[in-house]
Amino acid sequence: MTSQTSGRAHVIAGGFPPGSMAGHDHDYARLRLLGLLAEREIPASVANDFTDLEKWLPLSRLLITYVAGPYPDAGQCRALKQWLEAGGHWFALHGTSGGRAERVEGTRQRRTVKTEHHALLGSYFLTHPPICKIRVDVSASDHPLTRGLGASFEVEDEPYFIELQDPGSTQILLSADYGSNAVSPAIGTLYPRDTSLQPDGRTRVIGYTREVGNGSVAYVALGHCHNPAIRAARPADPTDTTPLTFHGAWEADEFNTLLRNAIGWGVEA
């Protein structure tokens, strides 16, 4: 694989099956990410999934993913790992920690299937309770990704439960204590226990970075967004007061600072 072209990015934003919104406004996220890249005059290629990943990685310095369902298969993971080891930077958002889901007997819910891409990414999505206000604690304020965020900030978003795959190689950047109301029926049914909880039994990691050879992966669980068409396809729930159009963290200054930091981290490293 050839070396990365300095200053170029590849953006993957989309759902599964192909063309599906999969509960997220990928058009909105894609446009926002491309706009932030354009601010710095960074050229970018765009895809809806990982199908042609091997074609674009050699041309890129930074990979940004915002997906709900698509994930790299074993061969694409090998290409991605080789690219990272050679110095590439992967900035993964929100549903990237998910992937293929399987039916579980006795329940209508689906369980995330752990695959090669979770090991490479460094995290595995379990579940999330309903959207709520989250206080995000910044534990590495001197890191290039968290510069300018302060000690903490608040956003509205989905409170993700993710399981770290290799805590020893992971630098935690962002964490949150969702509080006692953040519970999910998936714990104890789909998953035997809540492996997203940290040793203190309260906090969960929602942002981290890990080195892979000469390159690096950064993941941030924030970033849910949806539009009225997406909400219309959901079963009616009279207790759900979430707005039909929701941009959540995307409207927070701190999240936009984080995104701009990530772009700089990716193309300047």
Q: Report the b/e string of 166-197 with b at 16+ CB within 10 A.
A: eeeebebbbbbebeeebebebbeebbeebebe
Is 127 inside any structural domain? yes
Q: Could you tell me if residue 224 is inside a domain? A: yes
Question: Is 2 inside a domain boundary?
Answer: no
Residue 138 included in any domain: yes
Low-confidence stretches of the chain (pLDDT < 70) are 1-6, 235-239
Position 60 scores a pLDDT of 97
pLDDT digit string (tens) for 112-135? 999 999 999 999 999 999 999 999
204-212 and 215-220 strand pairing: antiparallel
The reply to whether 95 falls in a domain is yes
Task: List phi, psi (to 5°) of 40.
Answer: -100, 10
Enumerate long-range contacts of 193-202, CB under 8 Å, 24 or more apart: 194/126, 194/161, 195/126, 195/163, 196/126, 196/160, 196/161, 196/162, 196/163, 202/177
User: According to the model, what pLDDT value does residue 268 have?
Assistant: 86
Q: CA angle at residue 199 from 101 to 180, to 5 degrees?
A: 70
Domain containing residue 37: CATH number? 3.40.50.880
Residue 236: predicted pLDDT: 65
Token pair belonging to 198: 């940290």
**Structural domain contains residue 1:** no
* pTM, rounded to two decimals: 0.95
Cα separations (Å) of 20 from 16, 48, 240? 5, 10, 23
Neighbours of 240 (CB within 10 A): 11
Confirm whether 62 is domain-assigned: yes
Strand partners, 45: 10
The model's pLDDT over 210-256, given as tens digits with 9 standing for 90+, comes to 999 999 999 999 999 999 988 777 766 666 778 899 999 999 999 99
pLDDT of residue 6: 62
- Residue 219's contacts (CB-CB under 8 Å, 6 or more residues apart) are 91, 92, 93, 96, 97, 121, 122, 123, 207, 208, 209
DSSP secondary structure of 196-222: TB-TTSS-EEEEEEEEETTEEEEEE--
Q: Hey, CA dihedral for 162, 84, 101, 169, is it positive or negative?
A: negative
For the chain, the domain total comes to 1
Q: Where are the beta strands (DSSP E) in the chain?
A: 9-15, 44-47, 62-68, 89-93, 101-103, 110-112, 123-127, 132-138, 152-157, 161-164, 170-176, 204-212, 215-220
In this structure, is residue 244 part of a structural domain? yes
Query: Domain limits at 145?
Result: 9-268
